[in-house]
Amino acid sequence: MEERGARGRVARLTIAREEKLNALDPETIAALTAAARALHDDAALRAVVLTGAGERAFIGGADIGTMIGLDADGAQAFITSLHEAIAAVRAIPVPVIARVNGYCLGAGLEVAAGCDLRVASARAMFGMPEVKVGMPSVIEAALLPRLVGVGHTAELVLLGENIDAARALAIGLVEKVVPPDELDAAVDAWVDAIVTAGPQAVRLQKALMREWERLPLDEAIRAGIASYRVSVAGGEPARMLAEFTARRRK
C-alpha cells in the first residue's frame, strides 16, 4: 500500500510469479481475490494500480500446469475462482488502473478488461489464445464487446492471435500506450488526476458506470439523477466549486 499524503491511500496489487510470466495458478488467484476484497471497505482508498512483477508480463494467462490436470468439475471450480477474483477487482469502489508491462494474454487480458483504465508499455502484447488450445474464451471475456466492439472481439477470441500495443490502442483495448521507461510516469499522472478529484465524486462515478453497464438508457439516466443528488447532499460540490471560484479570482 502506498501513501499519498493527506489525499488518501493508493494501493498497488502486483501479480508476483515472474518466473512463470505471472500466470494465474489457484494460489495466486486466491491471493488476488483476498487482496482485492480487503480494499472494498477502505474509506481512505483513492485508487488502485494492478500490475505484474518484472518487465516481461502483466499476466501471461492462466497457469498451464494447473489446467492440464483438470477434469470437468475441477475446470468449473478453477474458472469460477478466476471469475470471482476479477469480480473482486471490479467491485473495488475506486478506479483500478491496469499497468500493462508485457504479455497480457487470456486470463491476463480478462483481468485487464476488469480494470477501469489501462495503460500499456509499447512492448506489451495482447491476446486471447484459448481456441488454439481447445478452449473457448469465457468469464470476463464477456467484457470485451463493450470495450472494443463485436468485430474486434471476434478477431481476438476466434482467431486467437496476439496483437501489439499499437493495435490494442487503435481498437480501444487500452487507453494509452507509452515507451517502457515512461510507463510509471503515465500511471502516476492518472493517479494524480484521480486523487485531485473529489473522492466522493470519483466513487459515485465508478458506481454509476457499473449501473450504465446493466441498465436500459432511461433507467441509467434516472440513476444519474439520484447519484447527483447524493453528491450535492454530501457537500463536496459546494466545497470544491467554492475553491475553484476562489482560484479563478486570484
Mind listing the pLDDT tens digit for each residue in 87-106? 999 999 999 999 999 999 99
pLDDT at 250: 72
User: Is the domain defined by 2-196 classed in CATH 3.30.950.10?
Assistant: no
For residue 108, the Cα-to-chain-centroid distance in whole angstroms is 10
Average pLDDT, the chain: 96
Q: Please, are residues 84 and 32 in contact by the beta-carbon 8 Å criterion?
A: no
Using pLDDT thresholds of 50, 70 and 90, give the confidence band for residue 2: low
Which residue out of 130, 161, 175, 243 is catalytically annotated? 130
236 as an active site residue: the answer is no
Which residue out of 3, 110, 161, 182 is catalytically annotated? 110
On the question of pLDDT at 9 being above 90, the answer is: yes
- Mean pLDDT, to the nearest integer, of 218-242? 96
pLDDT at 246: 87
pLDDT in tens, 102-135: 999 999 999 999 999 999 999 999 999 999 999 9
Residues 6+ apart with CB under 8 A from 166: 122, 177
pTM, rounded to two decimals: 0.96
Cell numbers at 7, concatenated: 489525499
Using pLDDT thresholds of 50, 70 and 90, give the confidence band for residue 6: low
By percentage, how much of the chain surpasses pLDDT 90?
93
Taking the C-alpha atoms of residue 19 and residue 235, their distance in angstroms, rounded to an integer, is 49
Measure the N-to-C terminal CA separation of the chain; round to a whole number of Å. 37
Taking the C-alpha atoms of residue 158 and residue 221, their distance in angstroms, rounded to an integer, is 35
Question: Which of 220-239 are b and which e, b meaning 16 or more Cβ less than 10 Å from the residue's Cβ?
Answer: eeebbeeeeeebeeeebeee
pLDDT at 1: 47
On the question of pLDDT at 200 being above 80, the answer is: yes
Taking the C-alpha atoms of residue 147 and residue 204, their distance in angstroms, rounded to an integer, is 21
155 as an active site residue: the answer is no
Residue spans of the domains in the chain: they are: 2-196, 199-249
pLDDT in tens, 18-32: 999 999 999 999 999
Using pLDDT thresholds of 50, 70 and 90, give the confidence band for residue 8: confident
